[in-house]
Amino acid sequence: MNITKHRLATLNSCYAANSLVIDGKTHILLASEAEGPCLAWSGADYTESHTVWEGPGGTMSIVPIPGTNGEFLAVQKFYRMYQWEGAKIVHVRPLASGGYEVTDVLDLPYVHRFDLLTVGERHYFIGCTLATKKESVADWANPGKIWVGEYTGPGPLEVKVLKEGLTKNHGYSRLVQDGVMRGLVTCEEGAFEVTPPAAPSGEWTIRQFMDWPISDISAIDIDGDGELEFATIESFHGTYFRVYKKIDGRFAKIYEHPEVTEFYHVVVGTTLAGEPVFIGGCRRGKQQLFYVHAVSNNPLRLEAELIDEGVGPSNVYVLHEEKRDILVAANREINEAALYFVT
């Protein structure tokens, strides 16, 4: 596997990453969690850049809206420390004349992660609030919630509480299995699988499948046996990067990254050059970006391969193209927006 790095720009507190398609062309987006911009790149090897917005920033998540010409939803005003009361969801639409139209669609204090889960032609919103109220950085007395609703267009978004009592409700990843989209939500109480209604009149379902403190999670079948393995960061902004496999009906830890340090923050189950991997990253210690893969299946043995060091990534989005994969990396601790081309 060959990996080469391309530095895009200096972006203060670079945090959120994703991509979307406008007029048939892929655009890569990276945004600041501070009072800063959202920037976009397109063209050959993504060398053409422009600004989506100058502020207000505080962007935790960016989610493209299926079936549109580059429209997306994003979090704004979720700032560092605990100043998150003004957090909201905005709708962003590219304009034919250039630039973008940004419209508030949902005020949702403490919203950290969110997604759109598609069932047929319907799109369902799931939002996770890190807490409900905070008086200080250390105050976790008011747990977070899972909020859900149907997304029907760019107007105001109506949501309701699906589940509450989720302390340090930090982690979210999308899981697509047998054609069904689900959300995986993690917190101090464990990990929950959330499934949108299968029919317009149906109900959301939620199932707890892990019961220990987890900051973040992602899943992929890393050994090709038809069953998912789960990589976790434990606990909140965690010390450990671990991989679990279900054996005899119970989760068994089959891998732990050798560096034990605070602030692991990246965990992504994906494929690189056709190989199933977990991508990991940490914002403290050696501040590595790495991937974990199977080096043998019988017995199963996983190893980590270093991608970069001293970069402190906050989030990584993986873009699959015809002859290469691209890691879109928000290297938060060095204020760097970067791409890693994988062939």
Per residue in 282-293, pLDDT (tens digit) is: 999 999 999 999
The whole-number pLDDT of residue 249 equals 92
pLDDT in tens, 240-249: 999 999 999 9
Q: Residue 322 and residue 306: Cα distance in Å, rounded?
A: 24
Would you say residue 330 has pLDDT above 90? yes
The whole-number pLDDT of residue 84 equals 81
Buried b vs exposed e over 299-325: b needs ≥16 C-beta within 10 Å?
ebebebeebbeebbbbbbbbbeeeeeb
The whole-number pLDDT of residue 154 equals 87
The whole-number pLDDT of residue 82 equals 65
pLDDT in tens, 106-148: 999 999 999 999 999 999 999 999 999 998 888 999 999 999 9
Interval 188-202 mean pLDDT: 96
Q: How sure is the predictor about 204, in pLDDT bands with cuts at 50, 70 and 90?
A: very high
Would you say residue 233 has pLDDT above 80? yes
Choices 2.160.20, 2.60.40, 3.40.50, 2.40.10: CATH for 13-107: 2.40.10
The whole-number pLDDT of residue 3 equals 98
| Mean confidence (pLDDT) of the chain | 96
Is the CB of residue 38 less than 8 Å from the CB of residue 30?
yes
* Residue, of 290 and 83, whose pLDDT is higher: 290
The whole-number pLDDT of residue 79 equals 84
| DSSP assignments along 182-246, one per residue | EEEEEETTEEEEEE--SSTT---EEEEEE-S--SEEEEE-SSSSSS-EEEEEETTTTSEEEEEEE
pTM of the entire predicted model: 0.95
Q: How sure is the predictor about 81, in pLDDT bands with cuts at 50, 70 and 90?
A: low
Task: Output the CA torsion sign for 33, 38, 42, 46.
Answer: negative
Tokens linked to 266: 């990246």
Q: Alpha-carbon dihedral of residues 235, 241, 245, 246, nearest 10 degrees? A: 0
Would you say residue 80 has pLDDT above 80? no
The whole-number pLDDT of residue 298 equals 85
Residue ranges of the domains in the chain?
A: 13-107, 109-214, 217-343
- CA distances for 73 relative to 135, 206, 245, angstroms: 28, 24, 34
The whole-number pLDDT of residue 172 equals 98
Interval 272-278 mean pLDDT: 97
